[in-house]
Amino acid sequence: MKVVPLGAGQDVGRSCVLVTLGGKTIMFDCGMHMGYNDERRFPDFNYITTSDDFTSRIDAVVITHFHLDHCGALPYFSEQRGYHGPIYMTPPTKAICPILLEDYRKITVERKGETGFFTSQHIKDCMKKVVPLHLHETVWVDDELELRAYYAGHVLGAAMIYARCGSESVVYTGDYNMTPDRHLGAAWIEKVRPDILITESTYGTTIRDSKRARERDFTEKVRSCVARGGKVLIPCFALGRAQELCILIESYWERLGLKVPVYFSAGLTEKANRYYKLFINWTNQKVKESFVDRNPFDFKYIKPWNRDYVDLPGPMVLFATPGMLHIGTSLEVFRKWAPDERNMLIMPGYCVAGTVGAKVLSGMKIVDIDQYSQVHVNIDVQNLSFSAHADAKGIMELIRQASPRNVVLVHGEKSRMSYLKSKIMGEFGCPCYDPANGELLEIETEQDVRALMSDQLFQRAWSGEQQRQERLGDNLLKPPNPITQMPVRGVLLLGDGGKRLTRLLDPSEFDLDQVPVAEPDTGNSRTDDQQLTAPDYLPTQDETEVKPETVVFSTRKIFDDVVVAKRMGLDENTNTIQAVLDAIYELLSIDSAQKVRQQKNEEGFGIVSVGESVKVSTCPVSDADELPSLAVSWAWEEEELATQTLAVLNRVLG
């Protein structure tokens, strides 16, 4: 399988990832970058081809949600660069996407005067190519490629995408939130066990405090500012955090009976709220239940904004778009209110580097608005994270749910990805990658064979696994683990690809001398019984990165030595564990540029060392029924080398 980020590789913004699986190529998201106003704002589509023949090279485009950093380049790609294939998105995304694209076009063309940009007709023509993708519905792009959407939280209509072609599969998360909020539920996915999970990592080194504490802090800061006669500017995108914070302010104003006016920049949000009412089934259970009596998106205290209000005296609260202070109403109002120290700016979300919002959050007191003007920042700046992205805990939980073979990190800063990579490899024992934009990542995948198992073979295998778990439980003085995976030894009767299906049968069901059979690969190297020794440390400061000096990670891979011996063609007298170590040593000697050494420790167990800290070692077996295992350990600084070592280990074990 091949993965190439055209955007969001070690960066936030311009999300666009190409994935090739089973000979099919999918483009996940097609966004723009908020920090650029030149050709860099769109992904570099010339990486695919310079002849603009994209339709023959890309089988499908999938948009995960309507934020511009995930869909902003779509009309440009389809109408101006000539992609004519299918575009998949959920119904709410299809409804809201053209509204945001048209608003983006108006600001870029009508206010800034840019030429050569996509037109309103381009947006309409682009939307005609969209195929709706409903939650948990399997859609076939062609006879081989299937897509399925899972709920992602984040914003209305956001979805994580599972794609499969033949025996290869991938999950692309887009943006997601594992914590339910006031109007949306938490992201969830089945244990689909994809070959690759491509996940965002925006807040990969952050663990947020409780939502209730953040909401209390937010409302208290707003109230203190208006009490002293100041104005509160809250930049936010028109959909998502806007509705979340509006519901919070609405309930707070109603509870305290406040009379201070609250505004929302009009037009775009009025349309957006119409779609929230239309797609109420995409919200959380509390909103659905209250919708019977009153629509929570019909706000009583929040009124439409008029530009003439900006110079009015007295306190007020304004929710203004967009959320990063790079264009639009929020930037215009910031220019007016920033010099007054009585006023307050509350930044509730992430700001891409290069935007005015990012400059203000960094502490700059004089900010260039454009090439002609600058503003003195005396306003009280507060950064309260209400971002609908998963934090470090959420990312780890999603990986646990999906149970992938490999993890790829995108949509995050390089500095934040490094520690998260080691944490993922230590806890789950799977390789983790963070390719840059334009970097080709090739990952070898196992060729699975789907087969129908006979009842007799299943019962025999299940009974054997139950007995093994009970023996382990008795030895460890604890109840047995639930059975989620088990090794199966049977006869694989290959089908013909048509009506005769491939079947896995008990040997007693056939005369083996007369039936041509092939033994199946029954490798059980992936198991939920990994014993983890990775430290439970993660930085807890909001937006603060901590790089430990000498953190050592380790993971343990349990495998069935009988199955591995068969795969490697070993005879009964060969030490399987030593043969595995020898194979790892040989492959690393070929693949790695670092020095590879093989030795034994004081107890006589084998060790393969790579670089300064990466070690693959055998573990002592305390019980005759216990499966053998290999431990992999590494220092935080060599997580790239550890990724390569884990990939080699998985190749050897199958």
Residues in the chain, overall count: 654
Query: What pLDDT score was predicted for residue 324?
Result: 85
For 304-352, how does the pLDDT look when each residue is reduced to its tens digit (9 = 90+)? 899 999 999 999 999 988 888 888 889 999 999 999 999 999 998 778 7
Per-residue confidence band for 641, with pLDDT thresholds at 50, 70 and 90: confident
Are residues 589 and 596 in contact, defined by beta-carbon separation less than 8 angstroms? Answer: yes
- Please report which confidence band the pLDDT of residue 25 belongs to, taking 50, 70 and 90 as the band edges: very high
Spatial separation of the C-alpha atoms in residues 391 and 497, rounded to whole Å: 44
For residue 37, which phi and psi values (nearest 5 degrees)? Answer: -120, 15
**Beta strands in 236-326, from DSSP E residues, in sequence order:** 262-265, 302-305, 316-320
pLDDT at 498: 54
pLDDT of residue 518: 46
Alpha-carbon distance of 209 to 206, in angstroms, equals 10
Distance CA 542, CA 205 (A): 9
Which segments of 55-208 does DSSP mark as H helices, in order?
Answer: 68-71, 74-75, 91-105, 120-127
Name the average pLDDT for the chain: 85
Residue 159, amino acid = A
pLDDT value for 544: 40
**Two tokens at 402?**
């999906």
- DSSP letters spanning 453-505: EPHHHHHHHHHHHHHHHHHHHHHHTSPPPP-S------EEE---SSSS--EEE
Torsion of CA 225, 227, 232, 236, to 10 degrees: 90
Do 356 and 326 contact (CB within 8 A), yes or no? yes
**pLDDT recorded at residue 536:** 38
Omega before residue 132 within 30° of 0, cis: no
DSSP-derived 3-state class of residue 506 = coil
- Report the DSSP beta bridge partners of residue 451: none
Q: What confidence tens digit (pLDDT) does each residue in 202-212 have?
A: 888 888 777 78
Distance of CA 124 to CAs 102, 129, 391, 558, Å? 10, 9, 36, 54
Residues forming beta bridges with residue 617, ordered by sequence position = 607, 631
* Share above pLDDT 90 across residues of the chain, in percent, rounded to a whole number: 43
Sequence-separated (6 or more) residues with CB below 8 Å from residue 266: 304, 305, 306
Q: Radius of gyration of the chain from Cα atoms?
A: 28
Verify whether residue 572 is a known catalytic residue: no
Catalytic, out of 168, 200, 638, 639? 200
Residue 406 neighbours by CB distance under 10 Å: 24
Percent of the chain with pLDDT over 70: 88
pLDDT 10s digits, 98-131? 988 998 898 888 877 888 899 999 999 999 999 9
Q: Measured between alpha carbons, how far is 515 from 164 in angstroms, rounded to an integer? A: 33
Q: Confidence band (pLDDT; 50, 70, 90) for 477?
A: low
